[in-house]
A and B are shown apart, each in its own frame.
Chain A
């Protein structure tokens, strides 16, 4: 395989296999695959050539646990070299079980401890606005990750500020032990966010939700996928 040939969604599973050695991937390990793919394929204005450009869009993987789907998409889009995937987690590899932004091109944050990406993303969104930049910020979190209270500090402030360059994708595989009575989207809506709920495997619906108008409000897209349980 070479980098230029790996452009399509159908190439993601072979790329995942380079990391895991498996031909099959259980749904939980790739719960984020479609949500991330559609962002990089249809929404984010960023490429390997513009990974450090001031006016790029930003994607922050907050749910840094299980990053193989993320690495596969970055590889398909040319940020990473497929030859590096086989070393996943090894002592000489830059691809850890949680990503390190200082080791990988195109990776905006180092993550792994839950509940950091959204608060950081809020700071990025404010920093871009303060510099007059129109770039958009996207943060991916998991449904169980929302248990971390730090997320709710950011949800409240982003809503209060009407931070409309901030977007959150919640990949919901119902992995939170206690669940979210009233729904995840409601937690955002009550703070003033625009919200969409979609099938997290349907690329057309994901793209439509990602690109909807939400002037003056931050946007959350809850992407429902197969239950982990």
Chain B
């Protein structure tokens, strides 16, 4: 996804003079060709992440639309007050593009992991959050975000991907499979593990490549055709979207199982697959959790 991000951004900069890229060393080498073409609109601030966000806010004040990029932990968590004040409170827009979501950098340890990023952004109003599950989706969502006025967008790129791209309609959930016993909402890279985990189960599978705004109507429509048993499978902190589910289904009795990255620090290295297994997000772990949650007749 990162390569596609660089290629797409280069093309966008060539065609839209309003766009600028702000980097903090990460991926700067890959941007050198486009920086040579647009030296005033590709800015590498060095290892200075507070400045990364504040400078983007300043660029936006002058009318530009900044695309701001680094590893998610240093993009969202480290400069969070800058996001709160120098984007939200200044009331300016930006497209934040993070890489290394959750446990992509498993061997890097906790310093390079930020499974709380979406939950943290949820404390601020008005953010659009895209979680693509494939490079094609990432490109489509980036192009949409770049042209989306002065909105504030977080595009959460990951090395965890699904085998096939899905058509993306920003802000809308897609129905991948239909069933009667439950609605399983798979976010971004969680789709393939969810499809494997629910093989043979009588459940609806919804796919979300955009989680904010949350497609309340899409979830309600899916529930209308199935039992109000909801399984959330998110590639970031478990339970992040529980408030959205509660709001969407406020008028309907329902149960919710929230699966995702667990709160406890693992203090383990290894691979993303190792971490998926330890967080119960591999097909076997998901299958066990979902089966235990569903009414006995569902299988």
Contacts and interface: CB of A to CB of B under 8 A. Distances in A.
A200 interface: no
Interface residues of A, number: 30
A94 interface: no
A124 B60 CA distance: 8
Nearest to B64: A127
Nearest to B48: A153
Contact of B51 (A109, A130, A133, A157): A157
Given A113-B81, A113-B85, A129-B40, A124 B62 contact: yes
Contacts of A129: 40
Given A101-B90, A129-B40, A120 B55 contact: yes
Interface in B36-63: 40-41, 43, 45-46, 48, 50-51, 54-63
A124 B62 CA distance: 6
Contacts of A102: 91
A157 B61 contact: no
Contacts of B240: none
A43 B49 CA distance: 32
A226 to B, nearest CB: 30
B41 A130 contact: yes
Contact of A120 (B41, B58, B81): B58
B55 A116 contact: no
Nearest to A161: B43
B51 A150 contact: yes
B82 interface: yes
B81 A119 contact: no
A100 B51 CA distance: 21
Given A109-B90, A110-B89, A153-B45, A122 B63 contact: no
B82 A126 contact: no
Contacts of B64: 127, 130-131
Interface string A139-153: 000000000011001
A150 B79 CA distance: 10
B237 interface: no
Q: Which of A109, A120, A150 lies at the interface centre, i.e. has the most chain B CB atoms within 10 A of its CB?
A: A120
A120 B91 contact: no
Nearest to B17: A131
Nearest to B57: A120
B74 to A, nearest CB: 13
Interface string B71-89: 0000000000110011001
Nearest to A129: B40
Contact of A109 (B20, B61, B66): B61
Contacts of B62: 123-124, 127-128, 130-131, 133
A157 B48 contact: yes
A125 interface: yes
B58 A121 contact: yes
| Smallest CB-CB A-B distances: 6 pairs | A123-B58, A127-B62, A119-B54, A123-B55, A153-B48, A130-B40
17 contacts: A100-B89, A122-B51, A122-B54, A123-B58, A123-B66, A124-B59, A124-B62, A126-B58, A127-B20, A130-B62, A131-B64, A149-B50, A150-B51, A150-B82, A154-B55, A156-B48, A157-B48
Given A116-B82, A121-B58, A154-B51, 12 more contacts: A120-B86, A120-B90, A123-B60, A126-B40, A126-B58, A130-B20, A130-B41, A131-B63, A149-B50, A150-B51, A153-B46, A157-B45
